[in-house]
Amino acid sequence: MSLAGGAARTLALITGASGGIGAELARIAAAQGHDLALVARNRAALDALADELAALPGQKNPRPLVLDLDLTAPGAVDALAGFLEAQNAAPDIVVNNAGYGALGPAAAGSLSEQLGMIDLNIRVLTEISLRFAAPLARAKGRLLNVASIAAFMPGPGMAVYYATKAYVLSFSEALSTEWAPLGVSVTALCPGMVPTGFQQRAGFSAHMNWTKLGALPSPVVARAAYDGMMARKRVVIPGLLMKLFAWTSPLAPKPLTLAAVGALQLRRRAGNGG
């Protein structure tokens, strides 16, 4: 199933929009005049955000479409596409922000949680990206996939999460070349530490020191993401420290990188590191 051409409502589709970077991206996009479709599992948070955006001064767009949906459920992306079709809507921007991490040794945690991470961070992101390729091509639109600074290195202590983000970066950069002749830009967002609900979900200590390792607030990261996407950049790395980290990490000896990242995860569990 693909979205029909000539949809009356063209909008930016944002997954994981109930909080953090996704919600901040929605606020920025709405302020810039984009119509929106917001997707997440938390209906109350989505409705609150949609009401907030509909009440913005000078807002000319209708209230954002809201869909509470577990994207890992069987047929979820079909349901998302059907929902947009029923609203006679199609995206000219797609933001794949939904995802999660889990702190701790991979084999020590829940197997279903580790596999679910692969399902959401990789399979769902891939399915949504490809599912909406046709409307994006018609609109010469933009795809933004949220990766991480973790994409640039292996991550003992968060092995599956780091691996999923390496996939997101690789997939996005390859798509940026494949889709360039279609006029569609593909941007991978690779932030460092961003204090959101992600850390609690992942099992980080509640006593984290967010000033360490160049942590940036979600509105700053979302602004960098939006500006980079609109400028059709291939990769966006917010913050000078994280840029330096991404550029230099491939040059470091792999044993040193593995040891340093593993030690970082231990500090995150204890709450005495960034």
- Reported as a single tens digit per residue, the pLDDT across 8-32 is 899 999 999 999 999 999 999 999 9
pLDDT score, position 258: 86
Listed in order, strand segments (DSSP E) in the chain are: 9-15, 36-40, 65-68, 89-96, 142-146, 185-189, 235-236
Q: Which of the pair, 112 or 216, is modelled with greater confidence?
A: 112
Sheet containing strand 142-146, edge to edge, reads 65-68, 36-40, 9-15, 89-96, 142-146, 185-189, 235-236
pLDDT score, position 273: 45
Domain 9-270 is found in CATH 3.40.50.720 = yes
Per residue in 38-76, pLDDT (tens digit) is: 999 999 999 999 999 999 999 999 999 999 999 999 999
In angstroms, rounded to a whole number, what is the distance separating the alpha carbons of residues 192 and 244?
A: 11
- Domains in the chain: boundaries: 9-270
Report the chain's mean pLDDT, rounded to a whole number.
90
The whole-model pTM stands at 0.90
**What percent of the chain lies above the pLDDT cut of 70?**
88
**In the numeric block, which tokens belong to residue 226?**
């939006």
